[in-house]
Amino acid sequence: MTMIDDSTPAFLQGNGRPVTEERTITDLTITGSLPAELDGRYVRNGANPLTGKADHPFFGDGMVHGVRLRDGKAVWYRNRFVRDDDVAAAKGLPPAPGPRHGMGSGVANTNVISHAGRTFAIVEAGGLPVELSDELETIQYSNFEGTLPGSFTAHPKRDPDTGELHAVVYYWEWDYLQYLVVGNDGRVRRKVDVPVPGKPMVHDCAITERYVVLFDLPCTFDVNVALEGAFPYVWNPDYGARVGLLPRDGEASQVRWLEVPLCYVFHPLNAYETADGRVVLDVCRHPKMFARDRLGPNEGRPTLDRWVLDPSSGKVDTECLDDRGHEFPRHDERRIGKAIRYGYTAGLADRLGVGPIYKHDLVKRASQVRLEGNGRAYLEPVFVPRTPESDEDDGWLLAYVYDAPTNGGEVQILHAQDFNGSPVATIHLPQRVPFGFHGNWVPDLT
Ligand SMILES: [Fe+2]
């Protein structure tokens, strides 16, 4: 059992505390009625240090939690460590097969996706994807059949028209950002290296119909901090802040850079082009990152902002859409890169306390909040359309929930159009799911 004492940092307390047991449960209790249309897995990844200790909230070993839904039933809940080299050694298991990239133990703790019929735990900043079985066991490290030039990212964007993944990759040894397209065969088919003046932390990207949106923001690699063994990306306001529009079929020399306000963005909600050639980019904007608190994110409330980029004039119009503290923005991913009306976020006002979720109507400029209170916190909400043809917002929001009073966990399923109504169904889990990072619904297409 992990011991909590005075030296335990806040990010490892409460629901930041790792879980230790890998469990498989097949007799789950359900409240309400699970929609029969939900046939697939809802999987989620996060940092969960096997030793119970970690130097930074981003560094812990990955653990993937998942529920398998089918025919209106919850078939199983499982949680498994992603078997990086430290986990393998600690458990007396052989290292996972496959290649390695960069330094460290190959942690893959940030997101979990499905592509080309395979499931991958993924991470940024140098680590390779780890392929998992449908039942979340580690199979191997993957460089996409030898086609990845370096490493990968935690936030590829799937083009809903082609099914291909678009990704922006960074690594501390590189003086460029690397744009990749991963084809439907699971192999990288395109690579563009875009030079940048420093070594920025680039957590995510966005796409539109014609562009990939690059973030080049003032949180940059500091070799002296790295040599001290601390988290090496720090606030660097002298670096400036800009976003780049790289034509998806273009070359690095064609990037149109536009200056944006000094800030840090982990996650865009979405981006799209307007009829007059501008790009609308909605983001969760942090005032700073890793400035006073190296164990952040903790530099003030992130706001949901809209940036309208005009590539012809270079002008950027900015607007705060909602200032209540938002992160983990999601939307109907059949509309990635296209105009959207609805977005969903998790509250980040108090990451160890009660956590609401929000539904944003970007046309009416109105937001709804769902706050259960009583020590209950939502993790990132994920939208699942009711049918492939159903309208935007006609579907379910799936979210893992932490219930502090019982130290328990749930998966809650809401109808997105009845955002403050009773849950359609609640799956009661045998243990809590730590706050972690990101998850996805993986429909069963077989
Ligand atoms: Fe993220």
Give percent of the chain with pLDDT exceeding 70.
Answer: 97
Which whole number is the average pLDDT over 316-339?
A: 97
Write out the two tokens for 184: 């439907």
Output the pLDDT for position 296. Answer: 79
Residue 12: phi and psi, rounded to 5, are -110, 15
Output the pLDDT for position 1. Answer: 45
**What are the distances in angstroms from CA 69 to CA 133, 323, 410?**
16, 36, 14
**Residue (of 315, 376, 383, 306) closest to 344 by Cα position:** 383
Q: What is the mean pLDDT of the chain?
A: 95
pLDDT at 351 over 60: no
Which whole number is the average pLDDT over 45-56?
A: 94
CA of 286 to the centre of ligand 1 (A): 13
DSSP state, 293? -
Q: Is 75 helix (H, G, I), strand (E, B) or coil?
A: strand
User: Is residue 330 within 8 Å of 321, Cβ to Cβ?
Assistant: no
Output the pLDDT for position 140. Answer: 98
Which whole number is the average pLDDT over 19-29?
A: 97
pLDDT tens digits, 243-257: 999 999 999 999 999
**Residue (of 213, 205, 224) closest to 257 by Cα position:** 213
Owner of token pair 């001290």: 228
> What is the rounded end-to-end Cα distance, in angstroms, of the chain?
40
Output the pLDDT for position 3. Answer: 55
Output the pLDDT for position 103. Answer: 86
CA of 46 to the centre of ligand 1 (A): 10
pLDDT tier at 292 (50, 70, 90 boundaries)?
Answer: confident
User: Is residue 445 within 8 Å of 53, Cβ to Cβ?
Assistant: no
Output the pLDDT for position 6. Answer: 65
CA of 329 to the centre of ligand 1 (A): 9
CA of 175 to the centre of ligand 1 (A): 22
pLDDT at 229 over 90: no
Give percent of the chain with pLDDT exceeding 90.
Answer: 91
Output the pLDDT for position 30. Answer: 98
Which whole number is the average pLDDT over 393-404?
A: 97
CA of 238 to the centre of ligand 1 (A): 25
CA of 33 to the centre of ligand 1 (A): 31
pLDDT tens digits, 192-209: 999 999 999 999 999 999
pLDDT tens digits, 58-69: 999 999 999 999
The model scores a pTM over 0.75:
yes
pLDDT at 352 over 60: no
Output the pLDDT for position 349. Answer: 58
Higher pLDDT, 353 or 327: 327
Output the pLDDT for position 445. Answer: 67
Starting at the edge strand found earlier in the chain, the sheet holding 165-169 runs 157-158, 165-169, 176-182, 188-195
Output the pLDDT for position 348. Answer: 80
CA of 192 to the centre of ligand 1 (A): 22
pLDDT at 358 over 50: yes
Which whole number is the average pLDDT over 161-188?
A: 98
